[in-house]
Amino acid sequence: MAAYRIGIDVGGTNTDAVVLDENLAVVASVKRPTTADTGDGVADAIDAVISASGIDPALVSHAMLGTTHCTNAIVERRGLGRVGVLRLGAPATTAVPPLEGWPDDLRRAIGEHVHVLSGGFEVDGRRLAEIDDDAVRAACDSMRDRVDAVAVVGVFSPVDESQEQRVAAIVEHELGVPVSRSSRIGSLGLLERENATVLNAALMQTLKQMATGFVAALRARGIPATPYFGQNDGTLMQLEYALEFPVLTIGCGPTNSIRGAAHLSGASDALVVDIGGTTTDVGVLVGGFPRQSAHAVEIGGIRTNFRMPDVLSVGLGGGTIVRDGGSALGPDSVGYRLPQEGLAFGGGTLTATDIALSVGAARIDGLASPAVDGEVAQTAWQGIRSLLEDTIDRMKPSAAAVPVILVGGGGIIAPDELDGVSDLIRPDHFGAANAVGAALGDVAGQVEKIYRVEATESGRRAARDDAARDAVERARLAGAAPSTIEVVAIEELPAAYSDGQQVLIRARAVGRLS
């Protein structure tokens, strides 16, 4: 019996959905406006793509959702859970308390239930201080009925996570709320790892609400599919894993587009230019997967250190507002209101889509070219081209021309030729590449830990093997079929400020959907 999968990507302007068959070929793709309540837009997209494909909903075995819901919650300071923060680092880390440097409105949104307790490790694994169980219980008493989740952060917990595990067990027993442990979220760097862990805790309730609506929409339509969410690295994780690590969904929008571009074009190494309604995101495709950023990432004014895609975003999209005789492009956009406000649709706002239509570079069935002054149109068209060329140039590894895969619903505003581009590829279904990327079936687990190793090859091999096992287990928990999981990368780096016997090991395992 045939088995289908649905991929959905919720963007700021449009919600895209596709149906893929068992060979991962696109059966149907649709685009629907993103709604104020994103759940309504998702339900509309599911209805539309099922209708367009003509398939029996009961034959859909997997449903994947890529969403900016968590990102928007942080940026807009809405829908976040209240978080209690337990840092295990007294007396060594009291000079800089948790949430230091956070924007005031974000601090207020999650609450300021912060405690610095005894605990933590040195980089070589020696204990800074023992855990005081009574102090942990007292902190829990002060937060009772005031928090929705708790973040537990230990100094150098990637070296030894035993203290975080112990404190998490006490918190779960005392408060009965979800616990986010930093050793499973971020890397070295106490403050960045702490920030990422607190954000993860704040998003647990946010994603749970989104997931509940998603599952309800599937079941109401007779779709028995197993639900998955997109991860920052372009792979998937099953629902239960996503609810534990919602922060891993933050960068899935651009990575879905990059993965979808690779699948639709057949290319494995290229730049991917994803033009939406509001922004253009440029990422790097390496070996079929998005290149990860090597730097700390700032989200909503907060510096973090968990894995994120290396993406450059600029304010140019199909809904970008054009002003000043065509010389000013955005960065503001009419967004999902383009069908109501764009000139070509009968509105009164001049947008980048109107410019592309007026110069004859694009056409939309059923729409006539809007009446735009010729000089204004040419000025704006040249500005669009220059902005795209400059953005691509900033992401190129060298001055040589590179292949570019163009995707996204706003791709109609891009010229057919761009300087510095050797081959401009517009694959079939390019407007729904993000939804295609969401539906692809790879599931990954990644670990980043510090090991104290003997100065022998056998000692280093034992550490690498342990990290590999941990990565495989995380891939399994994320929803990969155990028999398909392979360790695809192991990286060993010397740990700074150590005696030479500490190494930082990153391991990544990938498998197919279970």
Q: What is the pLDDT of residues 392-433, one digit of tens each?
A: 999 988 888 999 999 988 888 999 999 999 999 999 888 888
Distances (CA, A) of 394 to 70, 220, 350: 28, 46, 28
Torsion 435-437-442-448 (CA) sign: negative
Contacts of 502 (CB under 8 A, 6+ apart): 123, 124, 159, 450, 451, 452, 453, 494, 495
pLDDT band of residue 67 (cuts 50, 70, 90) is confident
The continuous run of DSSP H or E covering 74 comes out as helix 69-76
Tens of pLDDT, residues 290-309: 887 767 677 777 888 776 77
Structure confidence at residue 514 (pLDDT): 73
Alpha-carbon gap, residue 55 to 2, rounded angstroms: 10
User: Cβ-count burial of 77 within 10 angstroms (0-12 exposed, 13-18 middle, 19+ buried)?
Assistant: middle
Mean pLDDT of 126-138: 94
Pick from 36-40, 240-244, 390-394, 489-493: least confident: 36-40
User: Which stretches does DSSP call E strand in 111-259?
Assistant: 113-118, 149-154, 179-181, 226-230, 236-238
Buried b (16+ CB within 10 A) or exposed e, 463-485: bbeebbebbbebbbbbbbeeeeb
Mind giving me the DSSP string for 362-416?
---TT-PPP---HHHHHHHHHHHHHHHHHHHHHH-SSSS-EEEEEESGGGGGS-S
* Count of CA atoms in the C-beta half-sphere (13 A) of 56: 5
Torsion 255-261-262-264 (CA) sign: positive
Is 206 within 8 Å of 80 (Cβ atoms)? yes
Mean pLDDT of 435-447: 84
pLDDT band of residue 213 (cuts 50, 70, 90) is confident
DSSP-based three-state secondary structure for 255: helix
176: number of Cβ within 10 Å: 8
Pick the closest to residue 275 from 158, 410, 419, 377 (CA basis).
Answer: 410
Mean pLDDT of 58-70: 87
Q: Tell the residue number behind the tokens 């070589």, with chain if given.
A: 124
Q: Tell the residue number behind the tokens 């999902």, with chain if given.
A: 336
pLDDT band of residue 476 (cuts 50, 70, 90) is very high
The average confidence (pLDDT) of the chain is: 88
pLDDT band of residue 166 (cuts 50, 70, 90) is very high
Structure confidence at residue 270 (pLDDT): 92
Beta strands at 4-10 and 320-323: parallel, antiparallel or unpaired? unpaired
Is 431 within 8 Å of 257 (Cβ atoms)? no
Alpha-carbon gap, residue 256 to 231, rounded angstroms: 9
**Above 60 in pLDDT, residue 1?**
no
Contacts of 400 (CB under 8 A, 6+ apart): none
Q: What are phi and psi of 22, to 5 degrees?
A: -65, -15
* Count of CA atoms in the C-beta half-sphere (13 A) of 195: 24
Alpha-carbon gap, residue 380 to 356, rounded angstroms: 9
pLDDT band of residue 384 (cuts 50, 70, 90) is very high
Structure confidence at residue 498 (pLDDT): 59
Alpha-carbon gap, residue 315 to 92, rounded angstroms: 43
DSSP letter at 161? -
**Above 70 in pLDDT, residue 326?**
yes
Is 166 within 8 Å of 131 (Cβ atoms)? yes
Percentage above 70 pLDDT, the chain:
96
Alpha-carbon gap, residue 342 to 223, rounded angstroms: 36
**Above 70 in pLDDT, residue 496?**
no
Tens of pLDDT, residues 214-252: 999 999 999 999 899 988 877 888 889 999 999 888 878
Tens of pLDDT, residues 68-125: 778 778 877 888 999 999 999 998 898 899 998 899 999 999 998 999 999 999 877 8
Alpha-carbon gap, residue 149 to 8, rounded angstroms: 28
Q: Is the peptide bond before 331 cis (omega within 30 degrees of 0)?
A: yes
Alpha-carbon gap, residue 474 to 241, rounded angstroms: 9
Paired with 118 in beta bridges are 90
Contacts of 342 (CB under 8 A, 6+ apart): 319, 334, 349, 351, 353, 354, 370
* Count of CA atoms in the C-beta half-sphere (13 A) of 6: 36
Structure confidence at residue 500 (pLDDT): 61
Buried b (16+ CB within 10 A) or exposed e, 125-138: eeebbebbeebbee
Structure confidence at residue 113 (pLDDT): 95
Tens of pLDDT, residues 327-368: 998 888 887 788 889 999 999 999 999 999 999 888 888 888
Range with the largest mean pLDDT of 192-196, 279-283, 305-309: 192-196
Report CA 463 to chain centroid distance, whole Å: 29
Mean pLDDT of 277-302: 80
